[in-house]
Amino acid sequence: MQALLKRLRETAAIRVRSGYRPIHVLLPCEGWVVNHKRVYRLYVEEGLQIRNKRPRRKVPAKVRPDREPPSAPHEVWTRDFLSNQLFDVRIVWIMTIVDAFSKFSPAI
């Protein structure tokens, strides 16, 4: 059991991006007769799990500390591109311009 744990740690250190499944495939090639459930249990107990990737879109944007909200009109302008598909399958792109203080949109 200790030899299997040692080999599991060594393989996980070499193959950093591999999970327990690829390691379980390698063990029988080296002569180990071990069940995939045991490999998973030992892998979790040793803390060798790969961290999940961070979600990309569902994380709110971080506000810069040096950014202050606008205090008067015509100080900060924002623009955004929108797209829509017409009934005849043509795509229309729209650029909107908005004043950040008054939320007024002078041009689309």
In this predicted structure, what is the pLDDT of residue 64? 67
87-95 mean pLDDT: 92
pLDDT score of 63 more than 70: no
CB burial of residue 43 (10 Å; 0-12, 13-18, 19+)? buried
pTM exceeds 0.75 for this model: no
Tell me the pLDDT of the chain averaged across its residues.
85
41-61 mean pLDDT: 76
Exposure letters 7-23 (e unless 16+ CB within 10 A, then b): bbeebbeeeeebebeeb
Confidence of residue 19 (pLDDT cuts 50, 70, 90): confident
In this predicted structure, what is the pLDDT of residue 98? 92
- What confidence tens digit (pLDDT) does each residue in 66-85 have? 778 889 998 989 999 989 99
